[in-house]
Structure 1
Amino acid sequence: MIDQKREGVAGSPQPQDRDRATDFKTFMNLTNRQIQDRRRHVFQEWEGGPFSHLTRLAIPHQFAHHGFRFAANGHLFKRLLSVKVYCDSLTGVSGSDLDEDPMVADLVTSGRIVFTSKKVSHTVTPGRICIRDTKASWNFTCAQGTRVRVVTIPRHLVLSRNGSPGALDQAYMSDVSAPEVRFLMNFLQAIEKSSSDLDGSPHTQNLALDACAGLFAGMLSHRSESGPEDHPNATVKAAKNVIERNLDRHDLSPAMIARTIGVSVRTLHRSFSESNDSLMAFTRHRRLQRAHDELIRMDGAAKVSEIAARWHFADASHFIRHFKSFYGATPAAYVRDHGRAGGRN
């Protein structure tokens, strides 16, 4: 396993044996002082590595005082890279107009990345994926605290299946719920689970490369040119995932949710309204369901006031009112009736 972690250094680990599948880990943690040191070329060690298609990298001045953190963890073999990345605010160019620049897929899970070419701009928000040819340079801006699944594959493997460079002129943008995107993610998970089979087996690695190149080529051939506004569910799905993971937090709020998924509070509320739902109604509903499950599990042993406080209702009466509106009975009556029904069974 190649694992390079050095404070203040961007590692670009390289497998010495190209026939071996390699666990890929690299980590960068810069202080404001290191960022401001003009003598340092902090991204120099990325040159010649899997991230070498990224150039003119800069940490925006307004975020530099927070320092900069980057971490990538995944697999690398035969120039197929599949990693989960955390990245603080960063700008730069993806692609150097070279034939050896890779095809790259970015699937954002939190935060935001904006890619801009001479003709078009794509904003990749949580629950969205962008696949692009980096031979055509893309300026990019990565938001603070972005998490993204990154996959890179040699360009010539995809080009050989699409027939002409013109087929790669436009990026593929889609929602993560699209069948082909789900299939790609399942394929990448299979690679992770089969790392021991890939290690030291060039034939198996070639099969994986061929399969991934075929997926990229097929998705680019049937690209979706619709933007995020045509997929209001993308923002809603990402927000609901954040809500589900943080129902027990007292600071769960529209501002916190919007910040986590990389959209404005206004966009967040608009996306929910377009899906005929309400952000706060969904949050209250899910907290009611958690409180309901706790009541049944405790068989009435827990005090209503304790459950109301645990799931962040204003007070017991507020919780009882919403519980009765949703379940048709007060918590005490509901538990009593549930116990009787269980006794009859």
Structure 2
Amino acid sequence: MNDTLSVYLSGANAFGDFAREWQTRMGENFALAPFSPATVAGFGARSQGFRLRDVMFNRFESAASLRTTGPRVGADDHVRLWIVHRGLWRLGEPGGGTEHTAPAGRLLVQTGKLSHFAAAPHSTVQVLVLPAAEIRSERGRTASGSVDSAEVRLLTAHATTVRRMLDGLGPAGVDAARDTLAELARAVVRGGLDDTEPRLSPALAQAARDLADRRLTEPALSPAALARELNVSVRTLQRAFASEGQSLSSYIRDRRLDEARRALITPHRRMTITEIAARWQFADSGHFARAFRNRYDQTPSDYVASAAPRT
């Protein structure tokens, strides 16, 4: 069974609505833990995720503090990867037991039943749950690491792609998406990626696009720089893009042109065409004009003129 979840809830009945939606979408294998009364009363959150056969992935953004209570829940043969992007997340046994703390930028790996957890207000976490058989790990063990690794970037990029495309996947596509999630989870836990694994090419390409999109104005952005950050060879990265019919260099150039085109018609813009060319890392205005014309069949000046409101 597969399903997607996307909710943004707050207000008096928010927790009840969220719990019903979770039960419907995620099912008994990924049951919610019991929450404290204070958490239920002040609940407000955004949740986006999916269930893919025996794997679950969810991004959870809490508006208020969270805390579970009561017995552990869920299957005893699960592994959970908690990827904390914002705020503070605590996992374990409060009140004298072992409790692990993960601030933003840290990852917790926990095996066995879902333990107690708590989160500070305005915390954001992604959690992947999969069968323990996929990862060799001691039951009940909790390990920590950084979210700023190539393996975590690939995992989150692939999960984002799966969530977006899940409704359109056939049985073979679902199997491939699920197996790639498991392979990337193993890479996160062992701290190393098998970059010869062909199933990882789509995730590798997506992670490179995500990184490039955040750094389009940086002069050092290049396929070699992205390959270093993703801990793979340039050839491996280029091969991942070639399978999609586009080179990474072309992707970077096209995205810079897209952003420059938007900048040209930004209301009340203060940058000249030359300044826009420099911001988006074109060698000079002549180089920018040639690249722009090749892409859009107009010079930057003609594009600005054609986009201006007619009076």
Normalising by structure 2, we get a TM-score of 0.50
Larger radius of gyration: 1
Normalising by the residue count of structure 1, what TM-score does the alignment of the two structures yield?
Answer: 0.45
